[in-house]
């Protein structure tokens, strides 16, 4: 199997190694290659905008979804979600109450099928990356949200789950909603 430049860059970015250049330079571009409009933006903002606009052109949807879902760990860890979720492990009803009371979400949960519909109940996108991709069609960022939801609800259910964005402000809908399903198999009955 050959390792292409594209494979190298994807591996580098997924490992987070490329982010070191942003902090080492204090977030400012030094290459001199940027346009006049880009020069007023921090390097991280320029880099992410270019990455998002090119990923959709270069990757098929399945690969794009997989790559962006894996990026959700950065936000998950930044919010210290393992710590926040630990009191709710195995307590789906208590976690639903937390989401409704503390985050303002609207939850519809069918206990028979274990299908949960989570409506963030906000009129704006809550993605922390939104500020970095102004003017970029990056509705693919919703795949990162799917990964975040999968991590979160897998901890609560103590089983693997799949999450899918079923409506998104970034895709022109009024609010962001997810469908979350428990994955049942021989290992996790």
Q: How many domains does the chain have?
A: 2
Q: What is the rounded CA–CA span in Å between residue 51 and residue 136?
A: 10
pLDDT of 47 above 60:
yes
pLDDT of 34 above 60:
no
**Pick the residue with more confidence: 61 or 44?**
61
Whether residue 56 contacts residue 140, with contact meaning beta carbons closer than 8 Å, is answered with yes
Measure the N-to-C terminal CA separation of the chain; round to a whole number of Å.
37
The whole-model pTM stands at 0.73
pLDDT of 90 above 60:
yes
Task: State which of 13, 33, 58 marks the end of a domain.
Answer: 58
pLDDT of 52 above 50:
yes
Q: What is the rounded CA–CA span in Å between residue 14 and residue 130?
A: 19
Could you list the residue range(s) of the whole structural domain that residue 103 is in? 69-189
Structure tokens belonging to residue 155: 């901890």
Whether residue 143 contacts residue 55, with contact meaning beta carbons closer than 8 Å, is answered with no
The answer to whether residues 52 and 86 belong to one domain is no
Mean residue pLDDT across the chain: 78
The answer to whether residues 10 and 87 belong to one domain is no
**Pick the residue with more confidence: 4 or 65?**
65
């Amino acid at each position: 199997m050959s390792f292409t430049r594209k494979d190298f860059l994807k591996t580098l970015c997924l490992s987070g190694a490329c982010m070191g250049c942003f902090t080492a330079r204090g977030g400012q571009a030094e290459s001199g290659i940027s346009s006049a409009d880009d020069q007023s933006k921090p390097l991280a903002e320029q880099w992410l905008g270019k990455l998002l606009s090119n990923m959709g052109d270069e990757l098929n949807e399945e690969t794009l979804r997989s790559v962006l879902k894996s990026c959700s760990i950065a936000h998950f860890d930044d919010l210290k979600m393992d710590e926040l979720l630990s009191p709710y492990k195995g307590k789906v009803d208590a976690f639903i109450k937390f989401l409704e009371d503390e985050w303002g979400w609207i939850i519809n949960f069918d206990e028979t099928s274990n299908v949960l519909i989570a409506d963030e109940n906000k009129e704006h996108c809550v993605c922390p990356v939104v500020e970095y991709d102004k003017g970029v069609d990056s509705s693919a960022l919703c795949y990162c949200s799917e990964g975040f939801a999968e991590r979160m609800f897998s901890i609560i259910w103590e089983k693997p789950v799949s999450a899918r964005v079923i409506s998104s402000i970034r895709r022109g809908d009024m609010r962001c909603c997810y469908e979350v399903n428990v994955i049942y198999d021989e290992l996790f009955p």
